[in-house]
C-alpha cells in the first residue's frame, strides 16, 4: 500500500540525479549548521538555519508572511518552484520548515526521505562550496490557520471527545522525568509531564532506525491506530518546541492522509510554563 500523498517524498537517488536541475530548489534545514551544512552539503543546496531563519526571536514565533517571503527570495525560490528539503536530526527541522511552507501556501514541496543520515550512509557526495543564488521576489499566500493549533485550541480540546492530542516526545519527557531531550537541553519548561489525556507516541516510532526513512503505511497505521489516533478524529500534535511534532504531523497528514491534523508549535515550552494549565505525569 502506498502513502496517501507519495508526491511529498523524494529519495536520495532522485535528488542526486537532479542536482543540476534549475527548476528544483534543494534546501538543507539544520538545527546546528556548524556541524552539518558547513561540514558539507548537497551541491547547490541553500541553507535554512532553523533558529535564525524560521523563528522570530522578538515574538518567539515562526516568521511572519513578510519574513517568509524575504527568506524564500534570499534562497532563490519562486512560488511555482519544486522545493526539496532535507536536514540534520532525522529531518525534524526539515519537517518543521515543510509545515511552514504549507502554512504559507507553497504547493510543491518535498522531504528527502532519510535526510542527511541516509545521504551519508550511501556515501553520496557533499561539497563545502556555498552556492551563488540569484535573489527572487517571492509572494506567499495568507497563512493557512487550519494547519496550526494555538494554546486556546488545546485548552478547548481537553473537553472534546472527538479530539486527540499526540505527545511525540520521549517517554521520560512525557512522564516528567526530564524536561528536555539530551540532544539539546535548552528551553526547559518550569514543569515536567504532559497535557492531560495526551497519547504518547514518540516521533521516532515512525522511522526506520537504520536510515531514518519513514516506515510503511501498514506499520504506521499499526503505530497510531492502536493508540486511538484515527482519521475520524481531530488530531493535535505537540512536543517541546514544535519540530518533532511537525514530523509526526507530516506522517499523519501526508503519509497516512488524516483529514484534520494540526501542529501545536507552542508545545510544552508554552503549556508547561503557563500559569493555570493542568499537567499530568
pLDDT in tens, 89-142: 899 999 999 999 999 999 999 999 999 999 999 999 999 999 999 999 999 999
Q: What's this model's pTM, rounded to 2 decimal places? A: 0.96
**Do the Cβ atoms of 183 and 149 come closer than 8 Å?**
no
**CA 93 – CA 71 distance, rounded (Å):** 16
Q: Residue 112 pairs with which residues in a beta bridge?
A: 10
Cβ neighbours of residue 280 closer than 8 Å, sequence gap 6 or more:
193, 194, 195, 196, 197, 198
Q: Give me the CATH topology for the region 146-271.
A: Oxidized Rhodanese; domain 1 (3.40.250)
pLDDT for residue 179: 85
What is the rounded distance in angstroms from the CA atom of residue 155 to the CA atom of residue 207?
Answer: 30
188: pLDDT strictly greater than 90? no
CA distance 8 to 22: 19
Instruction: Provide DSSP, 189-236.
Output: -SS-SB-TT-EE--GGGGB-TTT-PBPPHHHHHHHHHTTT--TTSEEE
At 184, the pLDDT band (50, 70, 90 cuts) reads low
Q: CATH homologous superfamily of domain 6-143?
A: Rhodanese-like domain (3.40.250.10)
List the single range of 137-141, 238-242, 254-258 with lowest mean pLDDT: 238-242
Residue-wise pLDDT tens digits, 140-169:
999 999 999 999 999 999 989 999 999 999
**CATH 3.40.250.10 boundaries in the chain:** 6-143, 146-271
pLDDT tens readout for residues 38-70: 999 999 999 999 989 999 888 889 999 999 999
Catalytic positions, written as ranges? 239
Q: Which stretches does DSSP call E strand in 35-143?
A: 46-49, 55-56, 61-62, 82-87, 109-112
Task: Compute the mean pLDDT over every residue in the chain, rounded to the nearest whole number.
Answer: 95
Amino acid at each position: 500500500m502506498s502513502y496517501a500523498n507519495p508526491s511529498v517524498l523524494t529519495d536520495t537517488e532522485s535528488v542526486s540525479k537532479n542536482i543540476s536541475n534549475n527548476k528544483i530548489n534543494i534546501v538543507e534545514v539544520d538545527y546546528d549548521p556548524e556541524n552539518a551544512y558547513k561540514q558539507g552539503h548537497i551541491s547547490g543546496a541553500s541553507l535554512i538555519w532553523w533558529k535564525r531563519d524560521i523563528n522570530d526571536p522578538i515574538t518567539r514565533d515562526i516568521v511572519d508572511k513578510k519574513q517568509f517571503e524575504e527568506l524564500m527570495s534570499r534562497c532563490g525560490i519562486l512560488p511555482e518552484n519544486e522545493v526539496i528539503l532535507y536536514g540534520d536530526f532525522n529531518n525534524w527541522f526539515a519537517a518543521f520548515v515543510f509545515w511552514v511552507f504549507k502554512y504559507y501556501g507553497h504547493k510543491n514541496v518535498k522531504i528527502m526521505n532519510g535526510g542527511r543520515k541516509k545521504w551519508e550512509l550511501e556515501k553520496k557526495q557533499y561539497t563545502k562550496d556555498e552556492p551563488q543564488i540569484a535573489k527572487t521576489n517571492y509572494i506567499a499566500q495568507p497563512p493557512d490557520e487550519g494547519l496550526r493549533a494555538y494554546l486556546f485550541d488545546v485548552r478547548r480540546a481537553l473537553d472534546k471527545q472527538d479530539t486527540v492530542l499526540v505527545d511525540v516526545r520521549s517517554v521520560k519527557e512525557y512522564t516528567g522525568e526530564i524536561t528536555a531531550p539530551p540532544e539539546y537541553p535548552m528551553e526547559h519548561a518550569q514543569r515536567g509531564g504532559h497535557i492531560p489525556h495526551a497519547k504518547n507516541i514518540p516521533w521516532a516510532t515512525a522511522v526506520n532506525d537504520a536510515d531514518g526513512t519513514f516506515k510503511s503505511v501498514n506499520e504506521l497505521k499499526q503505530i497510531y491506530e492502536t493508540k486511538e489516533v484515527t482519521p475520524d478524529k481531530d488530531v493535535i500534535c505537540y512536543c517541546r518546541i514544535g519540530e518533532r511534532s511537525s514530523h509526526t504531523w507530516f506522517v499523519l497528514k501526508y503519509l497516512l492522509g488524516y483529514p484534520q491534523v494540526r501542529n501545536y508549535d507552542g508545545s510544552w515550552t508554552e503549556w508547561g510554563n503557563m500559569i493555570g494549565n493542568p499537567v499530568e505525569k
